Amino acid sequence: MGDHIHAPGDWMVEYKYMNMYMEDNRIGSQTVSDAAAITYGATSDPVTNRMATPTQMTHEMHMLHIMRGMTENITIYTMIMLPSVTMDHLRGPAAGPAAGTEFTTHNSGFGDTTLGALMRLYTDENDDWILNLAGSIPTGDIFRTTTIPSGGTTSQAFPYPMRLGSGTFNARPGLTWKHYWEFGSFGTQLQTDLPIGRNYRNYSVSDEFRLNHWYSHLITDHLSTSLRVENLWRNNYGGEDPMTPDMGISTNVESFRGGYWLNLGIGGAALINGHLLNVEFVPTLYQDLDGIQLETDWSMVASWSKSY
């Protein structure tokens, strides 16, 4: 995202679908069973997973991306997000007679909205340097409740990974360098997502840093393949939502939200009658997580875009 500039007056409209699949828990860099996740929670700091442990999650995202070239060197854009999150759980010992049973929760709606400007700092025949000055508006709901975990008797807030936004205004500066050859291109991008202060629930989500390196190779004038390596760092949450007790489940523990992920993107793109189609499969090669968290197995991205 944010790696190209449009000519003055030009528009680009893109629809993007993203799907991330997570299964099994991980302590640091080691995968553990569902039973071991509950056992670990009895002695972790803080104690957790007494009510339930997460076992699987699917995070889908529908995104509308609109760009417009303002000058030769400035393009503005917006991104409107519609996330959909489904998480499976196994009840723990504090669930009483229901211990060992499973349940599933789901949350969906509008996410945070991004507004930004891409500024070309330097360009020549072979290189582009682009500064991304962006930020997000907290349009995603961060506090919804469900009665499913308690069997329909008590409402509980959705845990942190199932919330639709950050609840804060976030700064999202980034920098991209691209080098072109006749047969392809290479790029490097640092992109960040930095919450400003705490939200009305008295917490802030992780600072996020993504460092991507990729190579795209032209097969024909209308077909290309790509290979991408992504390094992703997140720190733990700040503050605490008073309605999410740590002991219940690990997805409510603020100190269990950070870590490092190494991802590999394998993609392809086709230009068909002015319509650009992209698809990328992204397996996670390595991850080292703080505390105990669901591990990420893979993600997939597909998009359609057209410039006018």
Tokens 């000058």 — which residue? 71
- What residues contact 232, with CB distance under 8 A and at least 6 apart? 208, 209, 210, 211, 260, 261, 262, 263
Q: What is the pLDDT of residues 148-203, one digit of tens each?
A: 998 888 899 999 999 999 999 999 999 999 999 999 999 999 999 999 999 999 99
Residues 234 and 207 sit within 8 Å (Cβ to Cβ): yes
pLDDT band at 118 (very low <50, low <70, confident <90, very high): very high
Superfamily of domain covering 11-307: monomeric porin ompg (2.40.160.40)
pLDDT higher than 90, residue 36: yes
pTM, 2 dp: 0.95
Q: What is the mean pLDDT of residues 36-46?
A: 96
Give the separation between CA 163 and CA 57, rounded to whole angstroms.
Answer: 13
In this predicted structure, what is the pLDDT of residue 2?
87
Give the separation between CA 4 and CA 275, rounded to whole angstroms.
Answer: 17
In this predicted structure, what is the pLDDT of residue 150?
87
Angle at the Cα of 47 from the Cα atoms of 242 and 56, rounded to 5 degrees: 85
Give the separation between CA 122 and CA 182, rounded to whole angstroms.
Answer: 20
Q: What percent of the chain has pLDDT over 70?
A: 100
The 3-state DSSP class for residue 105 equals strand
Q: What is the mean pLDDT of residues 110-122?
A: 98
**Domain definitions of the chain by residue range:** 11-307
Q: Which of 237, 233, 290 is nearest to 263 (CA)?
A: 233
Residues 158 and 148 sit within 8 Å (Cβ to Cβ): no
pLDDT band at 282 (very low <50, low <70, confident <90, very high): very high
Q: What is the mean pLDDT of residues 259-286?
A: 98
Mean pLDDT of the chain: 97
- What residues contact 55, with CB distance under 8 A and at least 6 apart? 23, 24, 25, 34, 88, 89, 90, 102, 294
